[in-house]
Structure 1
Amino acid sequence: MSQGPDETVMNFWDEVITDMEATAAEYRDNGWDVIEVHPGDVTPLPPDHERFGLDILVPDDEFDTVSEAVETEGTSFDSFEVFRASTGGTVFLVVAVEDKNSGQVVLVPAFYAVREASDTLAGVRERDELPINLRPLSVDEVVAFEPADPGPLLPPGEK
């Protein structure tokens, strides 16, 4: 049974959030409209789950902002930049999901323990996809982003 992230992981997570904020500032300096999300929990879900991939719980107001941006006519969040680091068997990510036409970007920080995500990672190898599912506390709504290439989301050296 998992006991949650240890102190080293949480310290590194603080650095990831700082990196996301710096990335947001760079995007803004380049004229992008930036939406930052601040996950409350990240759970890797296996392929037999209805929401396979990374399940990311975000505050309701941030979910509403992302949902509205995605549902806006003419938007297409289909370009991805992934910033990845790995330490102590944990992969840390900042995923930038871009809509180049509207100049909007959603920044999603996440992390997962490789050992605890083994079923999810096996599913990625089978399906060649790793959806990123943002959801509010209720599971009634989900915004899913699906990078064309899941490789940058995997532990370094995989795929």
Structure 2
Amino acid sequence: MSEPTGDDAPTNVQAGDGWSAVIEDMEATATEYRERGWTTLELHPGDSVLINSDRRTGLDVVLPGPEFEELESLVDDRQFRHVDVFRAGGDELVYLLVIEVAPESETAVFVPAYYDPSQTAETIESIREAGTVRLFCRRLNDDTVRFVHDDPAPFLPEPVE
């Protein structure tokens, strides 16, 4: 499935060995949060792309239905006011572990993601210029939970000078 799904959709990429490391880091970090008494949700996207389309610009991750429903119920009554982003490169991809944090309720949502920066240079520049990045967590029917962040730098590779 490496064909674009529409005129404005990026090509899907295959995650490499770095993906296993991101998942392991997510599990270890979520365990640390739970040991401190926090509510955690670890997500497992089936696909992840950096997208710039008429409908959305940002990081788009597709979730299984049950995980999406759990995420949807968590965000209904909590204010996610903080984000931690861990970024690493490998296999010519950018790997991310995004932790959406609701400090008042001690809740953390862990969103692993990846994208191919060589296929998304225009999108990266568009996000940099806008000064915000959106994280779309959605399921295949397009129901979406959206997180918006005013500092896109942690989500993007270092600018080439």
Same fold (TM over 0.5): yes
Cross-structure match for 2:58: 53
What amino acid does structure 2 have at the position aligned with 1:27? Answer: Y
Amino acid at match of 1:43: V
1:117 to 120, 134, 148: 120
1:104-123, CA deviations, whole angstroms, 9 ceiling, x for partnerless residues? 11000000111112122011
Give 5+ residue unaligned stretches, structure 1: none
Query: Please, what is the CA RMSD of the aligned residues?
Result: 1.8
Output the amino acid matched with 1:148.
D
SS in 2 for 1:115: helix
Structure 1: distance between partners of 2:12 and 2:96: 21
**Would you say 1:68 and 2:77 are equivalent positions?**
no
Amino acid at match of 1:79: H
Structure 2 alignment gaps of length 5 or more: 4-10
What is the CA-CA distance between 1:38 and the residue it aligns to?
A: 0.1
Give the Cα–Cα distance (whole angstroms) in 2 for the partners of residues 155 and 86 of structure 1.
8
Whether 2:86 is the aligned partner of 1:83: answer: yes
Q: CA deviation at 1:55?
A: 1.0
Letter of the structure 1 residue corresponding to residue 60 of structure 2: D
The one-letter code of the counterpart of 1:64 is E
Larger deviation, residues 86-95 vs 130-139: 86-95
Residue matched to 2:43:
37
Percent identity for Structure 1 against Structure 2: 35
The alignment partner of 2:68 has SS state of helix
Query: What is aligned with 2:131?
Result: 128
CA distance in 1, matches of 2:69, 2:24: 23
Find the partner of 1:146 among 145, 148, 151. 148
Judge conservation of contact 2:99–2:111 (CA < 8 Å) in 1: yes
Q: Which residue of 2 aligns with 1:23?
A: 29
Kept in 1, the 8 Å contact 2:128–2:153? The answer is no
TM-score (norm 1): 0.88
1:75-96 residue CA offsets vs partner (Å, 9 max, x unmatched) = 1112001111112431100000
Please tell me whether the aligned partners of residues 78 and 147 of structure 1 are also in contact (alpha carbons under 8 angstroms): no
Distance in 1 between residues matched to 2:17 and 2:152, nearest whole Å: 26
Contact 1:82/1:95, CA 8 A, preserved across alignment: yes
What corresponds to 1:106 in structure 2? Answer: 109
How many residue pairs are counted as aligned between the two chains? 152
- 1:33 and 1:3 map into 2 onto residues whose CA distance is 32
